[in-house]
């Protein structure tokens, strides 16, 4: 598609670094440097090339954003090579089972990869006309997700978490258990941005110990790795995911953690560029930038594979209106919210089912996908749980004695719902049928005439 | 009239490209950028230096590459074939882009005509040779879809005598008429016409709108109606149901033509619209919805400059159908993304920022946009009228309405449907907050309501709204001291308010029966609830009356079923009211 470019611009080398400031370098006296072009920078006496890309190019100078730290860079004796190509990653099916750095270098001691082809990491926008509406179920084995906020193949559904909450364990559990019930090939692409060493090590260990690694590709950028590399990491992961999904017919689940760190890297670069800041210092184009990541999920006409995304982000001070969760929520199709309250009660996974939302759930459930009673039992559990929680609040104000029998039954239901339905332990994998049955079992606790959201035939059939 | 000129690129910064050497560059002129021929538009001129916003991804473009000024300003193509189309932000059909790209991704530098040049249309003239015509007059008609007759109009600026007029099957570029003006100059007219997107299409005059746009959504139609030709804003945090509300209006409202622009929104959501609309039936005509719809999809990851243009493209197409005398509804989801696109471009041009980095001209651009809505007397000598209703979603960060885009929008729209995150959390949909939403169109449509629906409709609305206001106050008290402290009347208010909320305002957009309620039925439900309330008030105020007895009355128990009565059985409401009255009077303690 874009062959003309590489022929047009042969690579050129300059030694005219004018300034270095944070992750940005300015090279003067350049000719014909193209926008977004990949740049290799070598300091004299060093072997290693550092990569960057062109952010702004004019007649005589180019602004380059580095993906590697600028430590040790000099304005003299530094070679800058403009490659004439945009950043690419070599992909192959052998990447499954491998672990890479956030910049794409092997991290597991395995050999260099023999790529089948090189793909542009920026990715192009999918034509909305070529998309197909996501409508197939992914089973995560977690009741609060599968039943209440069903994940659908091709969806992007983030986890909104907070500091000190167990999102990492939840992410690992999803990665371990996720499968498509139709038996096609399933793969995980897992990328970390700016997480701690412990967290990265935890993921590595989890994947290795449980055998999930075989069907996974890991990109690990930790807090110790260069900040600017974080801009690249999710794009590398998604490029590999696109290759596996659209060229190798696999259903791919992409987990990106932690998007808050990604956004902070974006802010750092923006401030280095002296751009006019938007809300809380984040750049005004952050919405657009995030959309070029999240919108790479989807299902496309004529392709067997799909890309589903679970980005994870920590909300500073549990604030949903912070720019990172806020802009994310405007792009993604719903969100899972981790509840500090449930976590304090010692329940796992502490998913706030009411605050969570899967916009595409209805397309993924029902007969032939999950089970005929799914929508009804879900609505009923939501309704009964809401009544129970309301009654619980009322009991605090007015005292339990002033409540009706039905209200008391609903409080008992809400407690049991949290303890046995939402909470299920880290190693427990439930099939969708199993989860639905647990739901029915709990509904026995509330008066039968309060079951208004589910069809009575279903009640007859399933409420034994 | 189109003069091409060659220039050279001197700088590339994201979607903003600087060009020199164009011979006579003008504002908003379309420029082809680089060897790839990407489409862009001049948005600033300083001497010979032109700043061009580019509608496609600029990766790989380098200074030194050529730029070609096309001499024409950014325009849309207007003519038969617009309906049922699905465009990107600059009116390229997405299906053609798919064919030319050869993949599911959008390739660059694709040129695609907005309207098919090969398709033939049956043109039926309505004027004869020798007849005097002026701008805006209808020359002939084309059956564009089953639902819409496309009127071919004399383009603005042309007046004179019809020299020839065609009759038969033609493509949009065939000559269908020649009009000789007073100076004897012949103007050829084809079905295809162009109009610059940033210039409002001319009309005779704006008139005061007096008819409501009926959407079938109870909270909108009965509580916060918008007039045909009015402007409304739907702000709300994510997850509150902006898009579902917009789509619901697009599906069921009684406008004749719908232009829906997905501006910087989700890809899958657009796909949902694309897959759903062809199968949905317009409740007003019984024909497929697509027959009356133009879709413009510029998703969030598509180039940002095209997002900026997409709302203007949509507006111009909407105005074109308005000029034919149709009632048109324009749905823009979401205008915040449009404003952000402006901000991004403005930032790249290093303009002095206004509030939160938005350009200082944000509010004037917003006002200009919404002012293009209106109920108008169209150009042309037949005195026809057309309406353009603009409904814009706003996505305020964190749901906070004090931010610039919401504020700029609220100043120019007279109808505000405030979506509420708390209601959405409680799964109350549509989550339009009945306490803080408003409409300023009530005086306009008061006459229509009284004449077309019922003399006391406006009163029913105010009674219902004051019950809900009262409820909000009472709930505060209940929180503090409990239900017991309330009087019987207050308990009744709470009960009726609950019915209003749960069984009138709550509406399930995914339920086929419930999604659309005709206005007359809305009135009947409202009237019945209010009359039960009035009757019951007399009963519960009696001394020693046990409030719980009231809740046992059959008709009070059955209030939630009112919305389920079939549309064609409107007399059931009358008899329900009669029965309720009897049942309630039976509770009267005989003196």
What are the tens digits of pLDDT across the range A415-438?
999 999 999 989 999 999 999 999
- Residues with Cβ within 8 Å of B181's Cβ and at least 6 positions away in sequence, in order, are B158, B159, B160, B187
Which CATH entry fits the domain spanning A2-86: 2.40.10.170, 3.40.50.150, 2.60.40.10, 3.20.20.70? 2.40.10.170
β-pairing, B193-196 vs B149-153, is unpaired
User: Which residues 128-147 of B have a C-beta within 8 angstroms of A?
Assistant: none
**Entry pTM:** 0.91
Residue A4 has pLDDT above 70, yes or no: no
Of A412 and B5, more confident: A412
pLDDT at residue number A10: 59
> Up-side HSE of residue A406: CA atoms within 13 Å toward CB?
8
Question: Could you give the C-alpha distances from A47 to A44, A50, A73, in angstroms and in order?
Answer: 8, 10, 13
Give the pair of three-digit tokens for residue A25. Answer: 């370098």
* Contact present, B458 and B466 (Cβ < 8 Å): no
Architecture of the domain defined by A89-364: 3-Layer(aba) Sandwich (3.40)
End-to-end CA distance of chain B: 91
For chain A, percent of residues with pLDDT exceeding 90: 66
Chain A contact for B92 (CB, 8 A cutoff): no
Contact B105/A382, CB-based, under 8 Å?
no
Identify which of B59, B94, B97 has the shortest CB distance to residue A86.
B59
> What average pLDDT score do residues A430-448 get?
94
> What average pLDDT score do residues A272-287 get?
85
Instruction: Specify the CATH number of the domain B454-590.
Output: 1.10.1140.10
* Residue A6 pLDDT grade (very low, low, confident, very high; cuts 50, 70, 90): very low
Contact B12/A58, CB-based, under 8 Å?
yes
User: Which residues 506-565 of B have a C-beta within 8 angstroms of A?
Assistant: 510
Measure CA B311 to chain center: 11
Question: Could you give the C-alpha distances from B472 to A241, B432, B435, B436, B478, in angstroms and in order?
Answer: 51, 15, 9, 12, 10
Interface test with B, best of A28, A31, A127 (most B CBs within 10 A): A127
Chain A contact for B411 (CB, 8 A cutoff): no
pLDDT digits (tens, 9 = 90+) for B175-207: 999 999 999 999 999 999 999 999 999 999 999
Question: Is CATH 3.40.50.150 what the domain over B205-434 is classified as, yes or no?
Answer: no
Using CA coordinates, name the residue in chain A closest to B62: A34
What is the rounded CA–CA span in Å between residue B339 and residue B346?
10
Chain A contact for B8 (CB, 8 A cutoff): no
Contact A321/B399, CB-based, under 8 Å?
yes
Rg (CA), chain B: 28
Chain A contact for B239 (CB, 8 A cutoff): yes
Measure CA B534 to chain center: 38
Question: Is CATH 2.40.50.100 what the domain over B121-191 is classified as, yes or no?
Answer: yes
Contact A35/B13, CB-based, under 8 Å?
yes
Interface test with B, best of A129, A269, A334, A362 (most B CBs within 10 A): A129
Identify which of B98, B104, B425 has the shortest CB distance to residue A355.
B425
Per-residue H/E/C for B250-316? HHHCCCCEEEEEEECCCHHHHHHHHHHHHHCECCCCCCEHHHHEEEEEECCCCCHHHHHHHHHHHHH
Question: Could you give the C-alpha distances from B254 to B101, B211, B327, B392, B497, in angstroms and in order?
Answer: 37, 11, 8, 17, 29
Quote helix, strand, coil % in chain B, to nearest 5.
Answer: 35, 25, 40
Using CA coordinates, name the residue in chain A closest to B345: A285
* Residue B424 pLDDT grade (very low, low, confident, very high; cuts 50, 70, 90): confident
Of residues A407, A406, A386, the one with CA closest to residue A398? A407
What is the rounded CA–CA span in Å between residue B144 and residue B84?
10
What is the rounded CA–CA span in Å between residue B138 and residue B154?
6
pLDDT digits (tens, 9 = 90+) for B536-568: 999 998 888 888 889 889 999 999 889 889 888
pLDDT digits (tens, 9 = 90+) for B92-132: 999 999 999 999 999 888 889 999 999 999 999 999 999 99
The DSSP symbol for A320 reads T
Chain A contact for B245 (CB, 8 A cutoff): no
Using CA coordinates, name the residue in chain B closest to A335: B239
pLDDT digits (tens, 9 = 90+) for B250-306: 989 999 999 999 998 888 888 888 888 888 888 888 888 899 999 999 999 888 888
pLDDT digits (tens, 9 = 90+) for B306-322: 899 999 999 999 999 99
Contact B268/A285, CB-based, under 8 Å?
no
Helix ranges, B130-266 (H): 218, 242-252
Helix ranges, A43-136 (H): none
Q: Which residues pair with A274 in a beta bridge?
A: none
> What average pLDDT score do residues B467-493 get?
89
Ordered by start, the domain boundaries in chain A are 2-86, 89-364, 374-462
For the beta carbon of residue A107, count every other beta carbon within 10 angstroms. 17
Architecture of the domain defined by B1-73: Beta Barrel (2.40)
What is the rounded CA–CA span in Å between residue B409 and residue B414?
9
Ordered by start, the domain boundaries in chain B are 1-73, 121-191, 205-434, 454-590
Tally A–B CB contacts below 8 A. 199
> Up-side HSE of residue A403: CA atoms within 13 Å toward CB?
22
The DSSP symbol for A93 reads G
Chain A contact for B58 (CB, 8 A cutoff): yes
């Amino acid at each position: 598609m874009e062959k003309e470019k590489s022929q047009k611009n042969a690579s050129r080398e300059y030694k005219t670094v004018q300034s270095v400031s944070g992750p940005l370098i300015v090279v003067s006296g350049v000719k014909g440097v193209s926008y977004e072009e990949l740049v290799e920078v070598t300091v004299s006496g060093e072997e290693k090339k550092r990569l960057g890309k062109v952010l702004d190019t004019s007649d005589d100078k180019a602004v380059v954003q580095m993906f590697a730290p600028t430590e040790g860079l000099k304005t003299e004796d530094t070679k800058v090579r403009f490659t004439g190509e945009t950043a690419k990653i070599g992909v192959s099916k052998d990447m499954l089972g491998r672990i890479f750095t956030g910049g794409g270098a092997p991290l597991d001691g395995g050999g260099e990869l023999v790529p089948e082809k090189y793909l542009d990491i920026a990715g192009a926008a999918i034509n909305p006309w070529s998309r197909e509406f996501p409508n197939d179920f992914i089973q995560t084995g977690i009741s609060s997700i599968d039943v209440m906020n069903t994940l659908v193949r091709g969806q992007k559904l983030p986890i909104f978490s907070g500091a000190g909450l167990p999102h990492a364990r939840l992410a690992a559990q999803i990665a371990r258990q996720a499968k498509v019930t139709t038996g096609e090939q399933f793969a995980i692409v897992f990328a970390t941005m700016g997480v701690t060493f412990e967290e990265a090590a935890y993921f590595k260990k989890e994947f290795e110990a449980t055998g999930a690694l075989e069907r996974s590709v890991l990109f690990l950028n930790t807090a110790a790795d260069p900040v600017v590399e974080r801009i690249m990491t999710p794009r590398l992961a998604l490029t590999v995911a696109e290759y596996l999904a659209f060229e190798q017919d696999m259903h791919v689940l992409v987990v990106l953690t932690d998007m808050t760190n990604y956004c902070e890297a974006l802010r750092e670069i923006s401030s280095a560029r002296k751009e006019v800041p938007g809300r809380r210092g984040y750049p005004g184009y952050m919405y657009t930038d995030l959309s070029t990541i999240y919108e790479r999920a989807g299902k496309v006409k004529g392709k067997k594979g799909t890309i589903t995304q679970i980005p994870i982000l920590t909300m500073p001070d549990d604030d949903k209106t912070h720019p990172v969760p806020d802009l994310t929520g405007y792009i993604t199709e719903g969100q899972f919210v981790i509840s500090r309250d449930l976590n304090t009660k010692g329940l796992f996974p502490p998913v706030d089912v009411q605050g969570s939302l899967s916009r595409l759930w209805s397309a993924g459930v029902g007969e032939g996908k999950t089970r005929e009673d799914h929508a009804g039992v879900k609505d009923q559990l939501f309704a009964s749980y809401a009544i129970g929680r309301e009654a619980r609040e009322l009991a605090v104000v007015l005292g339990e004695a002033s409540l009706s029998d039905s209200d008391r039954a609903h409080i008992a239901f809400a407690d049991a719902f949290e303890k046995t339905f939402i909470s299920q332990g880290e190693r427990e994998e439930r099939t969708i049928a199993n989860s639905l049955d647990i739901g029915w079992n709990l509904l026995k606790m509330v008066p039968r005439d309060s079951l208004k959201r589910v069809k009575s035939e279903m009640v007859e059939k399933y409420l034994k | 009239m189109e003069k091409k000129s060659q220039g050279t690129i001197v700088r590339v910064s994201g979607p903003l490209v600087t060009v020199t050497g164009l011979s006579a560059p003008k504002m908003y002129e379309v420029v082809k950028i680089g060897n790839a021929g990407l489409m862009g538009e001049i948005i600033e001129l300083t001497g010979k230096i032109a700043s061009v916003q580019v509608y496609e991804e600029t990766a790989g473009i380098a200074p030194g590459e050529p730029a070609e000024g096309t001499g024409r300003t950014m325009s849309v193509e207007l003519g038969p074939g617009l309906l049922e189309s699905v465009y990107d932000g600059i009116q390229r059909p997405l299906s053609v882009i798919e064919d030319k790209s050869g993949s599911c991704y959008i390739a660059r530098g694709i040129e695609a005509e907005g309207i098919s040049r090969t398709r033939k249309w049956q043109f039926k003239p309505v004027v004869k040779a020798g007849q005097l015509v002026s701008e805006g007059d209808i020359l002939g008609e084309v059956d564009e879809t089953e639902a819409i007759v496309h009127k071919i109009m004399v383009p603005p600026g042309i007046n004179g005598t019809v020299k020839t007029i065609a009759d038969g099957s033609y493509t949009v570029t065939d000559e269908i008429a020649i009009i000789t003006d007073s100076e004897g100059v012949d103007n050829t007219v084809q079905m295809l016409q162009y109009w610059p997107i940033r210039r409002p299409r001319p009309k005779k005059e704006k008139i005061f709108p007096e008819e409501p746009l009926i959407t079938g959504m109870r909270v909108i139609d009965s509580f916060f109606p918008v007039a045909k030709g009015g402007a409304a804003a739907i702000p709300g945090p994510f997850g509150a149901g902006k898009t579902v509300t917009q789509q619901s209006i697009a599906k069921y409202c009684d406008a004749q033509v719908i232009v829906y622009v997905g501006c910087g929104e989700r890809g899958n959501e657009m796909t949902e619209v694309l897959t759903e609309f062809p199968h949905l039936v317009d409740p007003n005509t019984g024909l497929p919805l697509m027959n009356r719809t133009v879709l413009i999809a510029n998703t969030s990851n598509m180039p940002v400059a095209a997002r900026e243009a997409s709302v203007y493209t949509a507006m111009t197409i909407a105005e074109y159908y308005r000029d034919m005398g149709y009632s048109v509804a324009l749905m823009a989801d979401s205008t915040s993304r449009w404003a952000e696109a402006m901000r991004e471009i403005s930032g790249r041009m290093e303009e002095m920022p206004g509030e939160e980095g938005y350009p200082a001209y944000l509010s004037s651009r917003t006002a200009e946009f919404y002012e293009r809505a209106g109920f108008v007397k169209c150009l042309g000598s037949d005195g026809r009228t057309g309406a353009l209703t603009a409904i814009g979603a706003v996505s305020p960060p964190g749901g906070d309405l004090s931010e610039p885009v919401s504020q700029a929008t609220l100043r120019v729209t007279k109808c505000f449907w405030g979506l509420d995150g708390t209601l959405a959390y409680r799964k109350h949909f549509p989550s339009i907050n009945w306490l803080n939403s408003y409409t300023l169109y009530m005086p306009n449509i008061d006459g229509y309501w009284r004449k077309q629906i019922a003399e006391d409709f406006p009163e029913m609305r105010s009674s219902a709204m004051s019950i809900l206001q009262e409820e909000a106050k009472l709930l505060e008290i209940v929180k503090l001291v409990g239900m017991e402290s309330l009087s019987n009347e207050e308990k009744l208010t709470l009960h009726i308010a609950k019915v209003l909320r749960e069984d009138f305002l709550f509406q399930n957009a995914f339920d086929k029966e419930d999604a659309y309620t005709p206005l007359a039925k809305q009135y009947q439900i409202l009237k019945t609830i209010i009359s039960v309330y009035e009757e019951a008030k007399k009963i519960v105020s009696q001394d020693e009356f046990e409030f719980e007895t009231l809740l046992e009355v059959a008709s009070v128990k059955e209030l939630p079923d009112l919305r389920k009565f079939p549309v064609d059985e409107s007399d059931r409401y009358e008899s329900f009211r009669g029965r309720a009255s009897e049942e309630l009077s039976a509770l009267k303690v005989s003196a």
